[in-house]
A and B are shown apart, each in its own frame.
Chain A
Amino acid sequence: MSDSPISHHDPSKEGSPSSEKSEDIESGESGAPASADQQQQMEQAYSQMKRKMTLQEMGAKIKHKIMVLSGKGGVGKSTVATGLALSLAAQGNQVGLLDIDITGPNIPKMLGLGGHRLHVEEGRIYPATGYSGVKVISMAFLLDDEDTPVVWRGPIKLGAIQQFLGDVEWGELDYLVIDFPPGTSDEPLTVVQSLPDIDGMVIVTTPQDVALLDSRKSIGFATSLKVPVLGVVENMSGYTIRGTAEPNAEMKIDAPDGTMVDVVADADGNWSTTLDIFKAGGGQATAEEMGVPFLGRLPFDPGVVRGGDDGVHRIVADPQGESAQAFAKVVEQLNANIAAAKQSGGLEII
């Protein structure tokens, strides 16, 4: 930051408005002294300006910013956001995870950070550190009792989000993953308007038709925000069962969707297969229909629920498991799409 010699324009010297400040502003038009009301507005403008600057700086320090959204609640946004963060961190990236769900923030619980309180120093908020060094900020850190949801009215809520965005000391990050409450509400809009340089959004859906319908809305919403859709993730897609049988045995399994699935055991007699609980492939079909990328399927995994409750995310508990592998694949696809989105617009920089 350059050291400007013009001190009365330096928003970092905020506080009660000095006479210097007010003279400077009011000298514009009328020359009349500023009323208390105007003074207050000026003060607000200054702190807003300061925040905006911080946001710009922060934007430059964080290489990639990814929003995780869904049209419908409970489809696994927070699980996916946390999984993406952990997966990216496992690849050696510096990752931040921002839980913007004010009414039901549950990310700390998934990361064993329940009960953590905010660490604030000189007006800057410091994130908590979870598994693999993932830095976490959650509205839950503000609550006295995590089980009592906060009911904040719109403007207060959005103000809190802006403050959270501007006042958190993330440091240098490769990725910031932002988890939202369900639906196409004001929160994503506030974030997009406040934080420059969002790479795009990941839309989480489940294979049921109603969730897919809602994710179509999310895609439309993304388009209206002019934020690229990095892709659709189909969560709780299929259930993996395993067993043992005679070596190389051939079996038929009656799947929930009414089809018979052929399974062959390996030479040691172990077998596994992933069954579709709902109609599979809807996420992919929706993505194709809407012309956005499909990132992959994450299986229904009872361990995910347990992990969410115990504070040990599935990826941490079982880094080689189906879920962890599926997440790694999604991340690979996601990275490819981020790279593509960055180059979009066909601008060649030499």
Chain B
Amino acid sequence: MDEVPELQRLERGDSAMELTWSDGTENSVDYRTLRYWCPCAKCGPRRGAQDLAELLQAEVAAYPQEMPTVQTVGGYALHFEWSSGCSSGIYRFERLWSIANALDPDDGKPYVHGAW
């Protein structure tokens, strides 16, 4: 992957977060989209199969609207804590960039263990 700009600002809203990147890009990420793309070992494999992916999507859509707590992870990623559903995912900044820019964060590949 090409160099991803640095994330400089993350502002949490009620249903989405606003991201500001070092190259000036600003985008908004809907929490549902964010949560659908959870990189954890439980959610990841589900996106690999159409029916499971749809189920995941439906699950995510049914989560109550809430603002997550956000923590940085060792300078390379962010962790989102939700009161419902899955909070296991560690989102690398490259992943957030892909999600924010509607690129496939899984890169077209089915989930591969250890590749997050």
How many Å lie between the Cα of A48 and that of B115 in the bound state?
A: 13
Give the docked Cα–Cα distance between A342 and B42 (Å). 27
Are B73's CB and A196's CB within 8 A?
yes
Is A30 on the interface with B (CB-CB < 8 A)? Answer: no
Q: Which of A56, A345, A347 contacts B40 (CB 8 A)?
A: A56
Q: How far is the CA of A28 from the CA of B76 in the complex (A)?
A: 32
Which of B9, B12, B79, B110 sits near A347, CB closer than 8 Å?
B9
| A53 with B42, Cβ < 8 A, contacts A197-B73, A346-B8, A348-B9 known | yes
| Interface assignment of B16: CB less than 8 Å from any CB of chain A | no
CA distance A346 to B41 in the complex (A): 29
Pairwise interchain contact A350-B9, C-beta atoms closer than 8 A: yes
How would you classify the secondary structure of chain B's contact residues: helix, strand, loop or mixed? mixed
User: Chain B nearest CB: distance from A313 CB in Å?
Assistant: 29
Q: Does A49 contact B (CB under 8 A)?
A: yes
Is B11 located at the chain interface by the 8 A CB criterion? yes
Q: Is A2's CB under 8 angstroms from B86's CB?
A: yes
Give bound CA distance, A36 to B59, whole Å.
36
User: Does B6 count as interface, using CB distance less than 8 angstroms?
Assistant: yes
- A189 to chain B minimum Cβ distance, whole angstroms, is 14
**Are A6 and B46 interface neighbours, CB within 8 A?**
yes
Q: Does B10 contact A (CB under 8 A)?
A: yes
Decide: A196 and B11 in contact? CB cutoff 8 A: no
Select the residue from A4, A50, A227 with max chain B CB neighbours within 10 A.
Answer: A4
Contacts of B76 in A (CB 8 A): 226
Is A198 part of the contact surface with B, judged by Cβ < 8 Å?
yes
Q: Which of A5, A57, A226 contacts B88 (CB 8 A)?
A: A57
Report Cα–Cα, A5/B51, bound state, in Å. 12
Partner of B72, one of A2, A56, A57, A342: A342
Given the contacts A53-B42, A197-B74, A347-B9, A2 and B59 also touching, CB distance less than 8 Å: yes
A residues near B73, Cβ cutoff 8 Å: 59, 196-197
**At the interface, yes or no: A349 with Cβ under 8 Å from chain B?**
yes
A285 at the interface (CB under 8 A from B): no
Cross-chain contact B6 with A346 (CB below 8 angstroms): yes
CB distance from B59 to the nearest CB of A (A): 7
**B88 engages A53 (CB within 8 Å):** yes
Q: Does A9 contact B (CB under 8 A)?
A: yes
- Is B105's CB within 8 Å of the partner chain A? no
Given A53-B41, A60-B81, A349-B70: A1 and B7 within 8 A (CB)?
no
Which residues does chain A contribute within 8 Å of B70, judged by CB atoms? 349
CB of A198 within 8 A of CB of B74, answer yes
**Set B11, B75, B85: member contacting A345, Cβ < 8 A:** B75
CB closest residue in chain B, given A4: B42
Contact of A344 among B12, B42, B59, B75 (CB under 8 A): B75
Known contacts A9-B46, A56-B40, A348 near B75 by CB under 8 Å = no
**12 intermolecular pairs with C-beta atoms under 8 Å apart:** A2-B85, A4-B46, A10-B42, A52-B113, A53-B41, A59-B73, A60-B71, A60-B81, A196-B90, A345-B72, A347-B8, A350-B12
Given contacts A6-B52, A53-B40, A344-B75, could you give 20 more A-B pairs where the C-beta distance is less than 8 Å? A1-B42, A2-B85, A5-B55, A11-B42, A49-B41, A53-B41, A56-B41, A196-B74, A196-B90, A197-B73, A199-B74, A226-B74, A228-B75, A346-B6, A347-B6, A347-B7, A347-B8, A349-B12, A350-B10, A350-B11
